Structure 1
């Protein structure tokens, strides 16, 4: 039996999730305790802006690397205190860090793909006294893969035992879909909460549409949907078959290229919610099971308006929270990085080559001893 901690700062840029997970031979990973450390709104906005800007200074990026590390340490200490577990009992931390830029591989010949996460693992190891494993994506990229998504392998390990068709949909800032089964696949299917959160911040200085209440007040604007669905680079990505991965670099309001002045703010938000649901539904129809269960995790599961729009678009599927399968939807991604750390420390591969496009199975991450 061993304990691992997983840390996740996702594309929503709203906070740091920490999960304490127990691993025991022959058993599924077990969540012992979890907690979330919310970011201040100004910091969230800084992270979102850095995902699309080309003008950040080296000093700003270096300070951000340290700040994410310090917040990681704070989240770990809070987690251990709440769980009443000593740091010495934890084998390792799996830290995702925070992604500043993700550029998927366009050409294996040019080897031009990269993915960059901040959150200094040396600082985390030094100030927690626990071995930290980080930088999970770059080995997969070195092997010709996209470096993402990495969680489908974990989804298969924890949720792939169902005899019925099953998929896992994570709705963070970006939405990603895992198609479970004999032929595992997974990919980023487009926007999750990113566009809606960005609009809420611009219009109401709110980090998100709490419970989907604002979008539910609005009416979808068909002309906006038509324009968004035909936008060049975004359209090309949505039509591209897996393996594929993306980020805020592609899915942001600026990239949609619209002047939204003159429209009712709630109507725009309703349209963004519908656009998000449509891109998810289209990904399921094109690349997923034709029917069956879709288990949802991530912040989007708490948005009834978005969940209803997805269900309406996919009447042959049963849309439900991962809680129905025994895993809390808020902590599944953090658990995945505890699992990845466990794989690395035990010299086991963490990627799924059929998902990322890598040349084969690889042991992921760098190890930073305490």
Structure 2
């Protein structure tokens, strides 16, 4: 019988939870997709917990994890309702959790990665086994613990006759390099994507995001600001590397803004942030995989027409497609990846790629909370 897995993803964009029911018999099949936005209070708390708070932080983090798990359970209920599937038909739920700290290799040589989640509560609420904590084993083995999706991107998008790359534009942008020959698959985080774009839009327009990138498209790039942003040492750091809101947060942006930027039309800063994402992603691709012929884009940024147009301008000669053209809509890719990682855990198969994360070897990733 076909084994069914549920994958849940709440990424650095902090816009809510995406979930899928998927199977992996000789390929990747998504049977259903559901999503639920975060209520404003939970979103604000998750965003705040990305930075040290100093006031009852452990208590607040534990309660936020409970709230997140309830959102996860609601998406699971939606999926079961859509499909008519019984609880017993789901082999496991892959629930990544919400990353609030990511410091691989830092401080003591091992570092840590921290995802808010309460998988025990999720198992209680759903009656299903829950696979979680996928990053920690890779970090313990000397790796970055991220990105974890390149192996899945290779299974989904890789082709032996074409050098490809997959670009996920979530809160952070990450690249998976999928060579058409037998070279190792590589991947890394490029830098910010929606995290800063959404922040600036919320601050100046009061809307969660810049729909289609229309606001950014109406602005003009500020060259001096762009150069200050691109001078961030992370962009020149060799791979393997990973990042998150630990680095690319509102305070990071604020420290690069000069009085003339603050007095300018805020649309111009938005345009500059869009250009930062497009240019940093394009330069990373040219540097590490100039042979790539096709770039497949997923994540919420794939719906940002302005950002996609900027990528086209910076990557002449590279065919740029949405993942929808390759069998899976952009908002379903990451959730499906965590269903796939749950399947790998239960099969006792490795989920990481040392060439991507820098770990000492392949490892079975995750922990399992039985039903």
TM-score tier (shorter): over 0.9
Q: Distance in 1 between matches of 2:290 and 2:21?
A: 32
Once the two structures are TM-superposed, the CA of residue 65 in structure 1 deviates from its matched residue by: 1.1
Q: Distance in 2 between matches of 1:10 and 1:291?
A: 27
* Counterpart in the other structure of 2:51: 52
- Is the CA contact 1:167–1:179 (under 8 Å) kept in the aligned structure 2? yes
Once the two structures are TM-superposed, the CA of residue 54 in structure 1 deviates from its matched residue by: 4.0
Query: Once the two structures are superposed, what CA deviation does each residue of 1:306-332 show, in whole Å capped at 9, x if it has no partner?
Result: 110111011121111011111111100
Q: Distance in 2 between matches of 1:190 and 1:296?
A: 15
* Counterpart in the other structure of 1:141: 139
Once the two structures are TM-superposed, the CA of residue 106 in structure 1 deviates from its matched residue by: 4.3
Are positions 1:290 and 2:304 aligned together? no
* Counterpart in the other structure of 2:96: 96
Q: Distance in 1 between matches of 2:84 and 2:268?
A: 47
RMSD: 1.3
Alignment TM-score, normalising by the size of structure 1 = 0.95
- Please give the secondary structure, in 2, of the residue aligned with 1:331: helix
Query: Once the two structures are superposed, what CA deviation does each residue of 1:63-111 show, in whole Å capped at 9, x if it has no partner?
Result: 011111111111111111112211110000111011111113248xx32
Q: Distance in 2 between matches of 1:70 and 1:291?
A: 41
Q: How many residues align?
A: 362
Q: Distance in 2 between matches of 1:91 and 1:265?
A: 49
- Please give the secondary structure, in 2, of the residue aligned with 1:363: coil
* Counterpart in the other structure of 2:31: 32
Alignment TM-score, normalising by the size of structure 2 = 0.95
Q: Distance in 1 between matches of 2:48 and 2:202?
A: 12
Once the two structures are TM-superposed, the CA of residue 349 in structure 1 deviates from its matched residue by: 0.6
Q: 1:124 aligns with which of 122, 125, 129?
A: 122
* Counterpart in the other structure of 1:242: 239
Once the two structures are TM-superposed, the CA of residue 243 in structure 1 deviates from its matched residue by: 0.6
Q: Distance in 1 between matches of 2:319 and 2:92?
A: 37
Query: Structure 1 unaligned runs (5+)?
Result: none
Once the two structures are TM-superposed, the CA of residue 43 in structure 1 deviates from its matched residue by: 2.9
- Is the CA contact 1:294–1:319 (under 8 Å) kept in the aligned structure 2? yes
* Counterpart in the other structure of 2:208: 207
Query: Structure 2 unaligned runs (5+)?
Result: none
Q: Distance in 2 between matches of 1:264 and 1:294?
A: 33
- Is the CA contact 2:110–2:142 (under 8 Å) kept in the aligned structure 1? no
Q: Distance in 2 between matches of 1:291 and 1:21?
A: 29
Q: Please, which moves more after superposition, 153-162 or 67-76?
A: 153-162
- Please give the secondary structure, in 2, of the residue aligned with 1:199: helix
- Is the CA contact 2:167–2:297 (under 8 Å) kept in the aligned structure 1? yes
Are positions 1:251 and 2:252 aligned together? no
Q: Distance in 1 between matches of 2:161 and 2:50?
A: 40
Query: Once the two structures are superposed, what CA deviation does each residue of 1:238-286 show, in whole Å capped at 9, x if it has no partner?
Result: 1011110000111123113124420101111111111111111111111
Once the two structures are TM-superposed, the CA of residue 42 in structure 1 deviates from its matched residue by: 4.0
